[in-house]
Structure 1
Amino acid sequence: MGLSAVVPGLATLHFTQSWQIAAGVGAAGFIVAVFILINVRLARSARLKRSGIGEIDRMDGVRFEQYLGHLFRSQGFRAEVTQARGDYGADLVLTQGNRRIVVQAKRYTKNVGLKAVQEVQSAKAHYRANEAWVVTNSQYTEQAKKLARSNNVRLIARDELVEMLLAMKAGTAAAAKRTSA
Structure 2
Amino acid sequence: MNFKNLFSKKEDKKLLAIERRESYYIDSKNVTNLSTMSGENFEVFLRDLFIYDGLKAELTPKYKDDGIDIIVTRGKLHTAIQAKRMDIYKNYNLVDKEVVNSLVGGARRRGIERTCIITTSIFTEAAQDIAAQEGMELIDGRQLYYLIAKIRPELLAEAYFEKLGYIKCPECGTGILKKREGRQKIPFIGCTNFPKCRHSMKITEFETRYIKQ
Residue correspondence of structure 1 range 56-75 to structure 2 within 5 A: 56-75=34-53
Deviations 1:124-181 (A, max 9, x none): 21222120000000100000000000111110101110011222323789xx89xxxx
Change over 3 Å in CA distance of 1:69–1:168 after alignment to 2: same
Displacement of 1:100 in angstroms is: 0.4
| From 46, 62, 70, the counterpart of 1:92 | 70
How far apart, CA to CA, are the structure 2 residues paired with 1:167 and 1:144? 26
Q: How many aligned positions are there?
A: 126
Higher Rg of the two aligned structures: 1
Change over 3 Å in CA distance of 1:97–1:142 after alignment to 2: same
Change over 3 Å in CA distance of 1:90–1:121 after alignment to 2: same
1:100–1:130: 8 Å Cα contact kept in structure 2?
Answer: yes
| Higher normalized helix content (fraction of residues) | 1
Residue correspondence of structure 1 range 1-181 to structure 2 within 5 A: 53-109=31-87, 110-170=93-153
Secondary structure class of the residue paired with 1:132: strand
Secondary structure class of the residue paired with 1:134: strand
Residue 69 of structure 1 aligns to which amino acid in structure 2?
R
TM-score of the two chains, using structure 2 as the length reference: 0.54
Identity %: 25
What is the aligned partner in structure 2 of residue 25 from structure 1? none
2:36–2:86: 8 Å Cα contact kept in structure 1?
Answer: no
How far apart, CA to CA, are the structure 2 residues paired with 1:154 and 1:73? 19
- Structure 1: which 5+ runs fail to align? 1-49
Displacement of 1:76 in angstroms is: 2.3
Secondary structure class of the residue paired with 1:55: coil
How far apart, CA to CA, are the structure 2 residues paired with 1:162 and 1:52? 12
Displacement of 1:123 in angstroms is: 1.9
Task: Compare 69-78 and 142-151 and name the one that shifted more.
Answer: 69-78
TM-score of the two chains, using structure 1 as the length reference: 0.63
* Cα RMSD, aligned residues only: 2.2
Secondary structure class of the residue paired with 2:106: helix
